[in-house]
């Protein structure tokens, strides 16, 4: 390797100490850009609109807040179960109690439902529509931009909400944090508290609808079972009356007035013909069956009906004190923030200074490199001329 190659290789190497010397030599560039970066950051902080952030915390309710849903009439319900009367077929049905409840709502399910309502985009859309419909200029000015479409304004409103589920990964949520951002601290606080109330009322409305629909459906089912049992009873009663009247006519035709036999002194392998009971007993039984219609109600003669009516009446008598029911509790309402969350002055000033430092170092190095290049070019030109 000749001397020219060695010099060329050495000239291509970067000496860290030379770079440091260059920066020291042109330190005013570094200082100037740092000051410029800080000034630019300060200007941004001065002209940027402050953004306030407020947070509300929702936690699960206690069992006592949902005690109205634990009433005995709601805890169990009847089911219709087929009863086997023979080996070949199922001839009738019977009612039995089941472990299934008519309607229930645990504290966990209530909180998950309230949490879902608070996070729901549809609930936030409904809240936004209510705000716009109020025609309050102080509120609309924050959310309505005439240069944007209605969908874009709505999207910007939805972005102002954020949520934090501390135990979402373990599915053990016991509280929910809701954050809302706005340029007006007092308005942000008021709107977030209003939204929490709006969402919880919305969920309560949904629970009421589900409860009413479920209970009414069960009462209607009990009513249909009751009517079915009554119809079956009346059909069997009429069939029995016709059968007795036919047997009485046969007994009368053979002058069988009194029973032909006494169960104490006769042994038969099967039930004897009904006409052998005699016209006196047969006509009296017909009279008794027909006389039931004069009673206030024949329900006491219908097997299984009293139990169904008892459950039906108990379910109809259930009342819920909706004013005392709580699905979730406001552990901490939205509070008035003391200072804006954005812009973050310290971070912005630090970033401005760092950016200025980086740009200043690059400027110092470029200036030093430019001067060395100019000096090298001048030296080469003088050497050629000589």
Q: What is the tens place of the pLDDT at every residue in 277-289?
A: 888 888 888 888 8
Q: How far apart, in Å, are the Cα atoms of 15 and each of 10, 11, 12, 21, 32? A: 10, 10, 10, 10, 25
Contact (CB, 8 A) for 256 and 276? yes
pLDDT (0 to 100) of residue 96:
63
Please tell me the least confidently modeled range out of 5-19, 77-91, 221-235, 262-276.
77-91
pLDDT (0 to 100) of residue 91:
40
Contact (CB, 8 A) for 327 and 114? yes
Whether the predicted pLDDT of 334 surpasses 90: yes
In a 10 Å sphere around its CB, with 0-12 CB exposed, 13-18 middle and 19+ buried, how is residue 321 labelled?
exposed
Q: What secondary structure, in 3-state letters, does 190-230 show?
A: HHHHHHHHHHHHHHHHHHHHHHHHHHHHHHHHHHHHHHHHH
pLDDT (0 to 100) of residue 210:
95
pLDDT (0 to 100) of residue 256:
80
Please tell me the least confidently modeled range out of 78-87, 131-140, 337-346, 351-360.
78-87
Question: pLDDT over 90 for what percent of the chain?
Answer: 38
Structure tokens at 335: 């509070």
Report d(CA 304, CA 73) in Å as an integer.
Answer: 18
Report d(CA 181, CA 337) in Å as an integer.
Answer: 10
In a 10 Å sphere around its CB, with 0-12 CB exposed, 13-18 middle and 19+ buried, how is residue 172 labelled?
exposed
If one compares 7 and 232, the residue with the highest pLDDT of the two is 232
Report d(CA 118, CA 337) in Å as an integer.
Answer: 21
Structure tokens at 194: 């209003």
The model's pLDDT over 57-75, given as tens digits with 9 standing for 90+, comes to: 999 999 999 999 989 889 8
Report d(CA 233, CA 83) in Å as an integer.
Answer: 17
Of the candidates 199, 223, 221, 203, which has an alpha carbon nearest to the alpha carbon of residue 211?
203
pLDDT (0 to 100) of residue 212:
94
Please tell me the least confidently modeled range out of 86-95, 126-135, 267-276, 355-364.
86-95
pLDDT (0 to 100) of residue 379:
67
Question: If you average pLDDT over residues 178-204, what whole number do you get?
Answer: 94
Of the candidates 255, 306, 294, 297, which has an alpha carbon nearest to the alpha carbon of residue 276?
255
The model's pLDDT over 37-56, given as tens digits with 9 standing for 90+, comes to: 888 877 766 676 778 999 99
- Residue range(s) in the chain whose domain bears CATH number 3.30.1890.10: 52-332
* Residue recorded with tokens 């109809």: 316
Report d(CA 113, CA 110) in Å as an integer.
Answer: 5
Identify the three-state secondary structure at position 369: helix
Question: If you average pLDDT over residues 247-272, what whole number do you get?
Answer: 71
pLDDT (0 to 100) of residue 127:
96
pLDDT (0 to 100) of residue 84:
41
Identify the three-state secondary structure at position 142: helix
pLDDT (0 to 100) of residue 352:
77
**HSE (side-chain half, CA atoms, 13 Å) at 386:** 6
Residue 284: strand pairing partners: none
Confidence of residue 359 (pLDDT cuts 50, 70, 90): confident
Confidence of residue 18 (pLDDT cuts 50, 70, 90): confident
Mean pLDDT (the chain, rounded): 82
Contact (CB, 8 A) for 196 and 216? no
Confidence of residue 81 (pLDDT cuts 50, 70, 90): low
Please tell me the least confidently modeled range out of 89-98, 242-251, 285-294.
89-98
Most confident of 83-87, 209-213, 235-239, 279-283: 209-213
pLDDT (0 to 100) of residue 7:
47
Confidence of residue 194 (pLDDT cuts 50, 70, 90): very high
Question: If you average pLDDT over residues 115-135, what whole number do you get?
Answer: 94
DSSP per-residue codes, 236-258: HHHHHHHHHHHHHHHHHHTT--S
Name 331's Cβ contacts closer than 8 Å, sequence gap at least 6.
57, 58, 59, 175
Contact (CB, 8 A) for 326 and 61? yes
Return the exposure string of 196-225: e unless at least 16 CB atoms fall within 10 Å of the residue's CB, then b. Answer: bebbbebbbeebeeebeeebeebbebbeeb
Q: What is the CATH number of domain 52-332?
A: 3.30.1890.10
Report d(CA 33, CA 359) in Å as an integer.
Answer: 7
pLDDT (0 to 100) of residue 95:
58
Of the candidates 169, 196, 182, 40, which has an alpha carbon nearest to the alpha carbon of residue 115?
196
Report d(CA 226, CA 299) in Å as an integer.
Answer: 9
The model's pLDDT over 83-114, given as tens digits with 9 standing for 90+, comes to: 444 333 334 456 566 668 899 999 999 999 99
pLDDT (0 to 100) of residue 161:
95
pLDDT (0 to 100) of residue 264:
55
Identify the three-state secondary structure at position 89: coil
pTM, entire model: 0.71
* Residue recorded with tokens 């009517």: 227
Question: If you average pLDDT over residues 243-249, what whole number do you get?
Answer: 87
Confidence of residue 20 (pLDDT cuts 50, 70, 90): confident
Whether the predicted pLDDT of 9 surpasses 90: no
Task: Count CB neighbours of 240 within 10 A.
Answer: 13
Report d(CA 386, CA 380) in Å as an integer.
Answer: 10
């Amino acid at each position: 390797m000749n001397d020219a190659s060695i010099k060329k290789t050495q000239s291509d190497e970067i000496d860290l100490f030379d770079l440091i010397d260059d920066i020291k030599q042109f330190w005013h560039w570094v200082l100037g850009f740092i000051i410029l970066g800080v000034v630019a950051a300060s200007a941004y902080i001065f002209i940027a609109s402050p953004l306030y952030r407020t947070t509300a915390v929702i936690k699960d309710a206690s069992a006592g807040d949902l005690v109205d849903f634990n009433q005995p009439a709601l805890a169990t319900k009847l089911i219709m179960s087929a009863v086997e009367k023979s080996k070949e077929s199922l001839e009738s049905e019977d009612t039995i109690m089941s472990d299934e409840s008519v309607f229930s709502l645990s504290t966990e399910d209530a909180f998950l439902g309230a949490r879902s309502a608070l996070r729901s985009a549809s609930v936030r859309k409904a809240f936004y529509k209510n705000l716009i419909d109020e025609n309050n200029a102080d509120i609309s000015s924050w959310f309505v931009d005439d240069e944007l479409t209605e969908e874009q304004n709505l999207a910007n409103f939805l972005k102002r909400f954020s949520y934090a589920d501390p135990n979402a990964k373990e599915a053990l949520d016991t509280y929910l944090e809701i954050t809302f951002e706005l340029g007006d601290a007092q308005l942000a606080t008021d709107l977030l508290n209003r939204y929490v109330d709006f969402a919880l009322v919305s969920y309560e409305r949904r629970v009421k609808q589900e409860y009413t629909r479920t209970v009414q459906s069960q009462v209607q089912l009990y009513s249909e079972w009751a009517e079915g049992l009554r119809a079956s009873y009346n059909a069997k009663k009429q069939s029995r009356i016709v059968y007795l009247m036919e047997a009485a006519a046969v007994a009368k035709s053979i002058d069988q007035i009194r029973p032909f036999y006494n169960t104490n002194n006769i042994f038969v392998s099967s039930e004897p013909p009904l006409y052998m009971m005699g016209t006196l007993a047969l006509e009296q039984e017909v009279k008794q069956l027909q006389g039931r219609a004069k009673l206030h109600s024949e329900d006491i003669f219908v097997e299984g009906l009293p139990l169904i009516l008892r459950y039906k009446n108990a379910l109809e008598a259930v009342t819920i004190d909706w004013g005392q029911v709580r699905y979730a509790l406001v552990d901490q309402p939205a509070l008035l923030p003391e200072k804006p969350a954005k812009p973050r002055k310290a971070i912005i000033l630090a970033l401005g200074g760092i950016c200025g430092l980086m740009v200043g170092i690059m400027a110092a190095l470029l200036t030093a490199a430019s001067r060395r290049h100019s000096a090298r070019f001048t030296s080469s030109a003088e050497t050629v001329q000589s």
